Chain A
Amino acid sequence: MTQEAITSRIIAIIKEHVGTEDALFPETDLEEDLAFDSLERVELAIKLEKAFGIALANSKLRNSVTIGDLIQLVICAEQERRILNV
């Protein structure tokens, strides 16, 4: 899956999760712009884990500020998964 495809899929998941039709970008702040609290991050992370078949580290999840940070987390986790599967 390309980075563009991952980005597009993550944004679609987040839009569905928060119930918005507004455009979201990698710079969009999870807390400031989308009012995510710590529990909702976990809820979203589980959705991302299921969608991409990956596992996300809690510590890295907590430090994610923007959608872009989440995208990078998912990309790294996907790469790790691929390496482990080789």
Chain B
Amino acid sequence: MTGRITSPAIVVTGMGIISPYGIGPDILWTKLMAGESGLQPLTTFDTAHIRCRVGGQLKDFNANRYLSPRTVRKIDRFSSFALIASELALLDAGLLVDGKKPLWMESGEGEQRVGICVGNNLGGWEFAERELRNLWQSGPREVSPYMATAWFPAAVQGNVSIQFGIKGIGRTFLADRASGAMAIIHAADCLQRGRADMMLVGGTEAPFSPYAALCYETSGLMSQQAVSGSLTAYRPFDVAHDGLVCAEGAAFFVLERAEDALARGATILAKLTGWASTYDGYNMVQPAPDGQRYAEAMKQALTQAQKQPDDIDCVFAAGSGIPSEDIAETRAIRLALGDAANKIPVSTPKSAFGNMFGAATPVDMAIALLAMQRHVIPATLHLDQPAPGCDLDYVPQTPRSVERLDTCLINARGMGGTNAALVVERCS
């Protein structure tokens, strides 16, 4: 017997997004196509103690419009984002019976075979900071008992699993800007190994509160141009790049094995055919400048997807905008794709609205899916002139219509060189 064991194909059957532009994929896509910045001056909290003055903030968001006030009182903003994005993903996947409850809750069957994976970086500091203020100013009686469950990163998986009756695998991943990628990778692995029949997976981040914003600022990785309130401060691969600008939001997906999705008549949005992660083992903050291990993640993802570099129609870069990281990512893409890197577009659409950290890769994946449906590659905004050492086709300033956009490589890289790569394919 020499037959090759074929792994089951993993498909995306539902998608829900909250971006700084608003709720849902349509507004995200429309704004990206229009080249509108999602960055705004930070006004919803006191920024006197930090230098950064802009971010991808969802300013008119009122969780009470989507969730009961009783629920909102118990959770942080990052859980609200996740609950809403999850509901949208389940709805998109045709899994909500009456617009609220999933099929498995209605029938009481199969809930142990549904799992959840969440990527997050900071936790729920808006809630935590409010309650800490209550503690110091008014005493312990004024602290919400929900402090015990609201603020920590795994709170999201708890809240979502309770809300939607998910009783299978539950995992939360913290890997800086690669957190969401790690969640997607684990969810896909779980499906392929038969440990679950359906996975709700995504990432969420809500970094706009005094302490959370300070944590990012003290990392030294934020753009100094944001100090002046510049709405073009996030400039991946540009000669004036000098760091990140953070954003808030969430993106969640329903993943299934293709055979299961087809059997239930689901609409397949895309295939997830390759994934891999590596670690640099180099430094607590800086990723390895040689890009070797980062490239290895991309190569392994391509191998799993059974793709050659020439098969890739677009790379969605991590694009941190941190000068050393932009150069290292360019180097890694060249190492992974070889000569093909000269002709493959490498876009960083998040330059328009900011980096969502734990939700960064899920939002990139959502944009990749939308791009493949429309045969248009969103642009890398704020890229006027490529920086030295950044010599790829970064799709600057203007979206690009293309004839073929069937296969995308999505990169993720977190602090200290936590590398991940995904391959997604359009479903014909």
Contact = CB atoms under 8 A, between A and B. Distances in A.
A19 B68 CA distance: 9
Interface stretch (B145-153, B248-256, B410-418): B145-153
A80 interface: no
B69 interface: yes
A39 B146 contact: yes
B264 interface: no
A19 B70 contact: yes
B69 A19 contact: yes
A43 B70 contact: no
Contact of B148 (A17, A39, A46): A39
Nearest to B69: A19
Is the contact region of chain B dominated by helix, strand, or loop, or is it mixed? helix
B197 to A, nearest CB: 28
B141 interface: yes
A73 interface: no
A11 to B, nearest CB: 17
Contacts of A43: 144-146
Interface in B100-156: 141, 144-146, 148-149
B362 to A, nearest CB: 29
A77 to B, nearest CB: 15
Interface residues of B, number: 10
A39 B145 contact: yes
A39 B70 contact: no
Interface residues of A, number: 9
Interface string B302-333: 00000000000000000000000000000000
A51 to B, nearest CB: 13
- The dominant DSSP class at the A interface is helix
A42 B68 contact: no
A39 B162 CA distance: 15
Contacts of A40: 74, 145
Nearest to A20: B70
Nearest to A41: B145
A39 B70 CA distance: 13
A19 B67 CA distance: 12
19 contacts: A17-B70, A18-B70, A19-B68, A19-B69, A19-B70, A39-B74, A39-B145, A39-B146, A39-B148, A39-B149, A40-B74, A40-B145, A42-B145, A43-B144, A43-B145, A43-B146, A46-B141, A46-B145, A49-B141
Interface of B: 68-70, 74, 141, 144-146, 148-149
Interface of A: 17-19, 39-40, 42-43, 46, 49
Given A39-B146, A40-B74, A40-B145, 14 more contacts: A17-B70, A18-B70, A19-B68, A19-B69, A19-B70, A39-B74, A39-B145, A39-B148, A42-B145, A43-B144, A43-B146, A46-B141, A46-B145, A49-B141
